A and B are shown apart, each in its own frame.
Chain A
Amino acid sequence: MADPSPALVVEHVAKYYGDAVKTRALSGIDLELAPGELTALIGPSGSGKSTLLNIIGLLDRPSEGRVILDGIDTSTLDDTALTALRGRALGFIFQFHHLLPAFTAVENVMLPSWGDRGFPSAELRTASEDMLRAVGLADRMTYRVTNLSGGQQQRVAIARALVHRPKVVLADEPTGNLDTASSDEVFALMRKFNRDLGTTLLVVTHDTRIADRCDRVIELVDGRVQSDVRRA
C-alpha cells in the first residue's frame, strides 16, 4: 500500500559515533510509515533500535540522511524548531513510563501542551480528563503518579502521548517491565487509539506476542533493515 503522503519518511539515515574510530550504529536506513499504521520494530540488543527511535523522535540528529515528519524536512530545522515540532507532532511512550513524580496523573497528561503554550486551558483540562477516562483511570486523575501501579502509570503515559493528537506516537518497550496481563491491557489500548484516532504508531519491542499483533514488523540487525513484513 503506497500511500501518497506518508506520516513519516526515513531517508538513507546513518548514524555513527566517535571521531577517530567510527562505530556505525545505523547504516542506510530507508523507511516509510503510512498514516494509521501500527508497526513493530524488533531486533536484538545493540541492533540500533533505540538509536533509530531517538532519530525518528527528533531527540538526536542522523549523521547522514534525513527524517521527514508530517511533510516537514527536519534536517532543515534548528533545535528550537525541532523541540516545537516534537511537542506538536510526536507522542512518546517510554519503557519506564517516565512520568513526573511530583505531579498528579492529570497534571502529567496536561504538562506537555501546557508547557508548549505557556498557560493551561479549560479545553486542555477536559481533553486530559477524557484521555484518562479512556485509559480507564477515571478514579485516579488526582493521584500522585507515584501512588499508581506500573500498569496504571503506563496508561497515564499513553494518555500523555495521545492527548494532543500527534501524527506519530513512538513507544520504546512500552510493556518491557509489565506482567502479561498489564502488557495485554496496554497493547489493547494502543491498538484502540490507533484504530479510533488513526494515530501512526511505532513500537520498539522484544515481546514477540506484541509484535505478532502489529500491522507490520520491521526487523533491525546490525544497524540495517533485515526484514520488513506487512500483514494483510
Chain B
Amino acid sequence: MPFEWFVALRYMRDAKAQTALVLAAVSVGVSVIVFLSALIGGLQTSLIDKTLGSQAHITLRVQREEPRALAEPTPTLAVSRIVEQRAQRLRSIDQWPRILAIAESEPGVIAVSPSVVGPAFAVRSEAKSPIVVRGIEPERFLGIIDLEKRLVAGQLTVDGDDVVIGARLAADLGAGVGDKLRLASSEGIDAIATVRGIVELGNDTLDRTWVLVSLRRAQTLFGLPGGATTIELKVADVFAADAIAAELRARTGLTADSWMAVNAELLEGLSAQSSSKLMIQFFVIVAVALGIASVLIVSVVQRSREIGILRAVGIKPRRILLVFLIQGGVLGVVGSLVGCGLGTLFARLFESGTADATGAPRFPVELGLPLYLQATGIAVAVGLLSAALPARRAARVDPVTAIRNG
C-alpha cells in the first residue's frame, strides 16, 4: 500500500471516535442533500407531468387580425382616425398541411396534430352545457396527449358521430357511454353525437368542457371545410419548448405559444423551489466542510510531533500533505456512500408514509444514479477542499520545533 494511504488510514482508525463523528456528520449532510433533491425533483417532475398531461407543449394558431386603416397619412394629407380592435373570428390556418410538414421537420419535435377548436353547446334533454369542441385526428392527437391512460369508460372512438367527452361534462349531462347528445356550434350548425368514451384529464375546466370529435365533423360544425385552427406539438425536451416555439414563429409567421409561456407562474414556482433547494444544500455543505476541517485541524495539532518525526527521518512535505488530503477524501467517499443509503431510505419512507389509500405515492420521489453521483461528487470535493487547509498546515510543520515542543 502506498505510504500516504497506509498512514492516512491508520490515523483514521487510530482516532475511531473522531472518525466516527465526522463520518456521521458527512453522512447526515449527504442524506439531507439526497432526500431533498429526490423530494423536490420528484415533486417538480410530477407537477410538470400533470401540467403537460392535458396540454400540448407548443400550440400554433393564426395571428390576431389587426385593424386595417382605410387611409394612410402622406406628406400632403393628414388623417384623423379612431382605431377599433377587430373582433376575432374563428379562422383556419392558411395552407395548414404545409405548416404541419414544417413543424414535423423541426428538430426536437416528436408529435404534431392538427385540430379545429371552437365553442359550442352540448344539449341533452333539459341539460345544456357550454363546451369546447376539439376536432382531431385520433392517431395524431394521441401523440400529444395520452388519452388511453385517462379513459375512464368506453373506448377511444372518435369518428363520424362517435365522440369522447370529459368526465365532469358527462356527469353534468347525465350522459353515459352510448347516450346521444346534440352539439350546437357557435356558427349555428347542429350535429347529433354518440358518446363512445369518457376521459378524466385531472383538470376541472377541461373535464367540464372537452368534447373530442373527428376533424371532419368539427370542420362541418364551424363552417371551415378542410381547415384547421390550431396545430399542436409535442417536443422531446420539455424545457426546449420556448426555443422551438420561437423558431417556429419565425419560420411560419404564426402565433406559437409554448407551455412555458402559458404556465409562467408554474415555472416561477419551480425555479423558486430549486433556489431554496440550492440554498439548503449550500448551508449543509458549509456545515459538513467546517466539520471535516475542524476535526482534521485538531488531528494535525495533536500529531504535530509525529509529523515532525516523519519529516526528520526524511519524509517529504508532499507526502505529509497527501496523508491529510486522503483523510478528507476518504471521509467524503465513505460519508457519501452511507449518506446516499440513508437519503434513499428517508425518501422511500417518506414516499410510502404519504401514500394515498390505494398505496400510490402522493409525493413520488426521484432517485437515481445521477443524483448519487452528484451527491458523491459534492461530498468528495468538500472533503478534499476542507482537508486542504489542515493538510498544508501539516506539510509545513518544522521538525525541529515540533520535536523540541513534543
Q: Which residues of A contact B (CB under 8 A)?
A: 50, 54, 57, 59-60, 80, 83-84, 86-88, 90, 92, 94, 96, 98-103, 111-112, 114-120, 160
Contacts and interface: CB of A to CB of B under 8 A. Distances in A.
Contact of A116 (B1, B13, B14, B315): B315
Contacts of B10: 102-103
Given A114-B6, A115-B319, A102 B313 contact: no
Contacts of B305: 98
Interface stretch (B50-58, B106-114, B176-184, B398-406): B398-406
Contact of B316 (A50, A59, A83, A99): A83
B173 interface: no
6 closest A-B pairs by beta carbon, nearest first, are A87-B314, A102-B14, A112-B313, A115-B315, A115-B3, A86-B314
Contacts of A115: 3, 7, 310, 313-316, 319
Nearest to A117: B3
Nearest to B308: A98
Contacts of A54: 400
B311 interface: yes
B306 interface: yes
A90 B403 CA distance: 17
B6 to A, nearest CB: 7
Interface in B1-41: 1-3, 6-7, 10-11, 13-14
A86 B7 CA distance: 20
Interface string B286-320: 00000000000000000001100111111111010
Given A54-B400, A80-B316, A98-B403, A111 B1 contact: no
Contacts of A96: 406
Given A50-B404, A98-B305, A111-B7, 5 more contacts: A59-B312, A83-B315, A94-B309, A114-B6, A118-B319
Contacts of B313: 86-87, 92, 111-112, 115, 160
A112 B314 contact: yes
A13 to B, nearest CB: 16
Contacts of B310: 100, 111-112, 115
Interface residues of B, number: 26
Interface in B243-284: none
A57 to B, nearest CB: 7
Contacts of A114: 3, 6
A99 B119 CA distance: 91
Contact of B306 (A59, A60, A101, A112): A101
A125 B404 CA distance: 30
Nearest to A60: B400
Contacts of B1: 119-120
Contacts of A88: 314
Nearest to B314: A87
B316 to A, nearest CB: 5
A98 B402 CA distance: 11
Nearest to B14: A102
26 contacts: A50-B404, A57-B312, A59-B312, A59-B399, A59-B400, A60-B400, A94-B309, A98-B403, A102-B10, A102-B11, A102-B306, A111-B3, A112-B310, A112-B313, A112-B314, A115-B7, A115-B313, A115-B314, A115-B319, A116-B315, A118-B3, A119-B2, A120-B1, A120-B3, A120-B6, A160-B313
Interface in B375-406: 399-400, 403-404, 406
B315 A98 contact: no
Given A59-B399, A84-B316, A101-B306, A118 B14 contact: no
B315 A87 contact: yes
A114 B7 CA distance: 11
Contacts of A101: 14, 306
Interface in B105-129: none
B158 to A, nearest CB: 75
B404 to A, nearest CB: 8
Contacts of B404: 50
A114 B2 CA distance: 8
Contacts of A119: 1-3
